[in-house]
């Protein structure tokens, strides 16, 4: 639903995987999301979570899907295989299927909550291309999202300390390795990589000055 708000009805779901604390969402986008777009997606999701909107589930005959208002996904081969007796599970937020205020209307067979507040938190952790105009967004919810945020803030504080204290090249390398392996929000990751690049450049200039002064 957040992608439709940003890009209009041309964006369609191309696949998904939903677990209790992780969401993988494939959609029809030709380009990577900008930082502002990711920030807006997270803002919209926070608003939905804080709005405590009810989640509705309805089982619909596969042949009736085309009559559902504002449906945002298509029946993939894998989804069709999970259909029981030609029935597809449809999820909506805020109102039942075909309700005037229903949003995020999707065919789905994954794990779902009864109310958006149960998600607790939401952060995007990756955005990558699958080719052929399809991108995969991965996000965390609940405790996993909160832990990712906490880890990102911890890394930010440590990097800020490296900016102010004397440090060795090995310390920067150790930090970079940990940053690479850590699960943190993509916006924080981009911020930290940018700050780390600046610190490495400053360290290189300092070493060159020291070398010139000793020659």
Domain with 58 in it: what CATH number?
Answer: 3.30.980.10
Output the six-digit token pair for 177.
């390795």
Do residues 120 and 140 make contact, with C-beta atoms less than 8 angstroms apart?
no
Does 133 share its domain with 189?
Answer: no
**Number of domains composing the chain:** 2
Do residues 90 and 68 make contact, with C-beta atoms less than 8 angstroms apart?
yes
Arithmetic mean of pLDDT, 144-171 = 91
Q: Which domain holds residue 187?
A: 146-214
Domain C-terminal end among 104, 121, 144: 144
Does 104 share its domain with 64?
Answer: yes
Does 124 share its domain with 25?
Answer: yes
Do residues 42 and 124 make contact, with C-beta atoms less than 8 angstroms apart?
yes
Q: Which range among 103-117, 154-168, 199-213 has the greatest average pLDDT?
A: 154-168
Torsional sign, CA 88, 89, 92, 96 = positive
The predicted model scores a pTM of 0.82
Residue closest to 68 by CA, chosen among 89, 48, 50: 89
Arithmetic mean of pLDDT, 103-121 = 81
User: In what helix (H) or strand (E) does residue 177 lie, and over which residues does it extend?
Assistant: helix 169-181
Does 21 share its domain with 51?
Answer: yes
Does 160 share its domain with 140?
Answer: no
Judged against a pLDDT cut of 50, whether residue 24 lies above it is answered with yes
Spatial separation of the C-alpha atoms in residues 141 and 38, rounded to whole Å: 15
- pLDDT, mean over the chain: 85
């Amino acid at each position: 639903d957040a992608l439709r708000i940003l890009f209009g009805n041309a964006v369609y779901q191309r696949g998904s995987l939903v677990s209790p604390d992780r969401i993988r969402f494939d959609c029809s986008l030709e380009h990577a999301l900008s930082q502002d777009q990711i920030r807006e997606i997270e803002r919209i999701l926070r608003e939905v979570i804080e709005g405590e909107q009810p989640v509705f589930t309805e089982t619909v005959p596969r042949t009736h899907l085309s009559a559902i208002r504002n449906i945002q996904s298509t029946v993939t081969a894998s989804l069709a295989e999970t259909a029981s007796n030609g029935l597809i599970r449809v999820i909506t937020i805020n109102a039942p299927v075909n309700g005037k205020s229903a949003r995020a209307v999707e065919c789905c067979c994954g794990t779902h909550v009864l109310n958006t507040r149960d998600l607790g938190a939401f952060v995007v952790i990756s955005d990558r291309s699958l080719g052929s105009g399809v991108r995969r967004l991965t996000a965390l919810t609940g405790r996993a999202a909160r832990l990712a945020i906490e880890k990102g803030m911890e890394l930010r504080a440590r990097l800020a300390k490296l900016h102010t204290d004397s440090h060795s090249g090995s310390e920067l390398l150790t930090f970079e390795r940990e940053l690479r392996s850590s699960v943190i929000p993509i916006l924080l990751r981009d911020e930290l990589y940018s700050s780390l690049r600046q610190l490495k450049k400053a360290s290189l200039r300092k070493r060159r000055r020291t070398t010139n002064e000793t020659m």
